Amino acid sequence: MIDPRVLRENPDLIRDAQAKRGLSGDVVDVALAADAARREAISSFEALRAEQKSLSKQIPQATGDEKTELLARTKTLSADVKTAEAAQNEAELAWLDAVKAIPNPAAPEAPAGGEDD
């Protein structure tokens, strides 16, 4: 599997490796888009989860209406966290599929392929 850091930091290296094999470099763009979506989904999930944890720590100290509001917000947030986690898992699978579609780069000394022999 391609190193995600190499894919992000030097996509042209991977595109060149694809071209050397006689393959399209479009899979690199698909993988980069999937990586961006995955990273965004992870960030969204983690932000919601952090907010959920913060609220759950505030509930024991809250009283009256404030506690009721916090409990209602926590319930809503719980559903949002589950949705974000599902989106993160889906994005992770899409990213894995995209990255697995890219063959490892050939050694630099290997001749360019693509011949029908």
Which range of residues forms the domain containing residue 48? 4-100
pTM: 0.80
Residue 12 covered by a domain: yes
pLDDT at residue 115 greater than cutoff 80: no
Flag whether pLDDT at 32 surpasses 60: yes
The answer to whether position 41 is within a domain reads yes
**Assigned domain for 110 exists:** no
Q: Could you tell me if residue 116 is inside a domain?
A: no
Identify whether 112 is part of a domain. no
| Confidence (pLDDT) at 23 | 84
What is the number of domains present in the chain? 1
Q: What is the CATH number of the domain that holds 69?
A: 1.10.287.40
Residue 111 domain flag: no
Q: Looking at residue 106, what is its pLDDT?
A: 74
pLDDT by residue (tens digit) across 63-111?
889 999 999 999 999 999 999 999 999 999 999 999 999 988 777 776 7
In a domain, 105, yes or no: no
- Domain for residue 115, yes or no? no
DSSP-derived secondary structure for 32-79: HHHHHHHHHHHHHHHHHHHHHHHHHHHGGG--HHHHHHHHHHHHHHHH
In angstroms, rounded to a whole number, what is the distance separating the alpha carbons of residues 13 and 27? 13
